[in-house]
Copies of this chain bind each other. A is one copy, B any other.
Amino acid sequence: MVSGEARKVDDASVALAVSTVIFALRQDEASGLATVWLPLVRRIREPFDGQWALPGGPLGAAEDLATAARRTLGETTGLTPGYLEQLYAFGDVDRSPGPRVVSIVYWALVQSEEAQRASVGENVQWFPADDLPALAFDHNLIVDYALWRLRNKMEYSRIAHAFLGETFTLTQLREVHEAVRGRALDPANFRRSIEGSDAVVATDQRVTGTRHRPARLFRYNTSIDLADQGPLSRLNERKEP
């Protein structure tokens, strides 16, 4: 039998949802070190009524997958991500009680200030990514996988700037890496590895008023593909305004 890609699913009871794991960094008040946090949404209907879940919702009929991820994320949390990438499609038959749901999950990064600005209400709360409660559906596994991808990708690509503003010091950039990778990095070695690559461009500005030696401000090299998705970057470029 030869495939007919356009045929409908036999049983129309398969629903398609889009969810997003979105990370930001937060200073721990005790240690002063930054760690990875993410917002969760309290469910207000069965199944898993009252439990925490990833922000998301059904796919609209006229929107692309990434657009649906942005929209549902905005509707539920008010956040606008600085980086967004598809993570995985979860579709096990038994992953949700009741009608079957296939979830296409994205993962994203926001700047910390943007995360502060966004509304936080009764039904949206931030949690440390390493220490989550039991979530609805298979969302604990999803977060684990997203966190693993974030940590992996931080080592070989240049997504760290999505946590920072337009310009930043090398110390700020290093602190992002330290927060995600969970250990201290040598400032001098870090500087050399970054400056040795072409990821970053020095500006002629400096940060003063820090009661220390003024630090140079850097900007990301926009002529470089930060995402490192190979042929797919074509697809992503096309879609962004």
Bound Cα distance from A7 to B98, whole angstroms: 10
Q: Interface residues of A, CB < 8 Å — how many?
A: 68
Residue in B65, B144, B232 whose beta carbon sits within 8 Å of that of A231 in the complex? B144
Q: Which residue of B lies closest to A47 (CB)?
A: B6
Partner of A64, one of B6, B15, B93: B93
CB pair A232–B145 under 8 Å, yes or no, is yes
Within 8 A of B (CB), among A34-52: 41-45, 47
For the complex, would chain A's binding face be called helix, strand, loop or mixed by DSSP majority?
Answer: loop
- Chain B nearest CB: distance from A215 CB in Å? 34
Q: Once bound together, how far apart are the Cα atoms of A220 and B234, in whole Å?
A: 37
CB pair B2–A8 under 8 Å, yes or no, is no
Collect the chain B residues with CB atoms within 8 Å of residue A144's CB.
Answer: 230-231
Chain A interfacial positions (CB closer than 8 Å to B)? 1-17, 19, 41-45, 47, 53, 55-65, 72, 75-76, 86, 88-89, 91-93, 96, 98-104, 123, 136-137, 141, 144-145, 148-149, 152, 230-232, 234-235, 239
